[in-house]
Amino acid sequence: MNQIVNPIAIDRHSVRVSETLKRADLEALAAAEIIALRVPNYCDYFKRGSLIERITSNSTIEYYKKATGVARIGKALVETKSSSEDNDLYFSSALEQMHQLRQICGNVLNPFDQFRLELDEQWRGGAQIAPFKRGKAFAGLLRIFEEGGFAHPHQDTLQRDAPGEPVAAELLEQFAMNIYLQTSSVGGELELWDIRPSIEEYTALRNSASHGIDKDKLPPSAALIKPQDGDLILFRSTNLHAVHKVEGQRRITWASFIGVRSPQEPLLLWS
């Protein structure tokens, strides 16, 4: 008997490659029909060249507290969880930081602003900077993995990272988006698991001495992506994910989280 092949069969572990950012692909990612979405050359060669020079000479680079060899320009909400002072600073400086990142780009359109516009155009309910209870979020940080930098398998969810934030309870899904301005010649792969632990399961798995989970506690992953210069990649940050050790040269990305509610409601952006 012939095998019946379903023409619209879903491969949950596939990385969909698309020429542009499209609503149907965002919906497929939200519905877990694909594991990730990749738009090659989202930020072109000439734009990348001028941005990298300006970024690496910027003096406001700070290191993440819990990750090894990973720095950022712009603040990360998750890092303000246990300090009200840091949380105050995150909100009081949010708009100024976005302005500063725009200034770093000079007369080149900030690739994150381009992404925000296209996301707003594509998603039925539009997209906006998250209006959190303490004020507008900061969105679109620059993340720099130095040589030797890496990220253990981990999960990012607003519910755990900002437990007092009411809108967290409305989110059905959370994406991570990265625009890769410069990738490392060796390593720096993005590894994705088809595992979405609950807050309790995650706490049980987590290594309290690091920012994530030891890989030997996990089953094999679902996808390993070697990002290319200029790529835009989106995945569900509620799934466990890791970044392999970066070697050769710094790996620089523009990064944000995206909170997903219903298709009729705006997507919410923050970093």
Ligand X SMILES: O=C(O)CCC(=O)C(=O)O
CB of 251 to ligand X, least distance (A): 7
Query: With CB under 6 A as the contact rule, which of the stretches 118-126, 131-139, 159-167, 236-244 interacts with ligand X?
Result: 236-244
CB of 256 to ligand X, least distance (A): 8
User: What tokens does 161 get?
Assistant: 């990272």
In three state form, how does the secondary structure of 17-69 look? ECCCCCHHHHHHHHCCCCCEEEECCCCCHHHHHHHHHHHHCCCCCEECCCCCC
Name the residue with the smallest CB distance to ligand X. 176
In whole angstroms, give the CA distance from residue 258 to residue 67: 22
> Which residue stretches of 69-139 are H helix?
84-92, 94-104, 111-122
CB of 225 to ligand X, least distance (A): 8
The reply on whether position 241 binds ligand X by CB under 6 A is yes
Query: With CB under 6 A as the contact rule, which of the stretches 13-21, 52-60, 112-120, 235-243 interacts with ligand X?
Result: 235-243
Q: Output 10 or 199, the one with its CB closest to ligand X.
A: 199
Provide CB contacts within 8 A for 121, sequence distance 6+: none
Q: Per-residue x/- marks for ligand X, 154-173, CB under 6 A?
A: --x-----------------
Instruction: Give the number of other CB atoms < 10 A from CB of residue 225.
Output: 17
The reply on whether position 176 binds ligand X by CB under 6 A is yes
- Interface with ligand X: number of residues (CB under 6 A): 10
CB of 8 to ligand X, least distance (A): 29
The reply on whether position 260 binds ligand X by CB under 6 A is no
28-67 binders of ligand X (CB under 6 A): none
In whole angstroms, give the CA distance from residue 165 to residue 157: 12
The reply on whether position 146 binds ligand X by CB under 6 A is no
Give the CA count within 13 Å in the CB-facing half-sphere of 82: 2
Q: Output 78 or 92, the one with its CB closest to ligand X.
A: 78
In whole angstroms, give the CA distance from residue 72 to residue 70: 7
CB of 237 to ligand X, least distance (A): 5
Q: Output 189 or 265, the one with its CB closest to ligand X.
A: 189
Provide CB contacts within 8 A for 191, sequence distance 6+: 153, 221, 223, 224, 225, 241, 242, 243, 244
The reply on whether position 178 binds ligand X by CB under 6 A is yes
Bridge-partner residues for 251, per DSSP? 145
Q: Per-residue x/- marks for ligand X, 179-198, CB under 6 A?
A: -----------x--------
Residues that bind ligand X (CB under 6 A): 151, 156, 176, 178, 190, 237, 241, 243, 253, 255
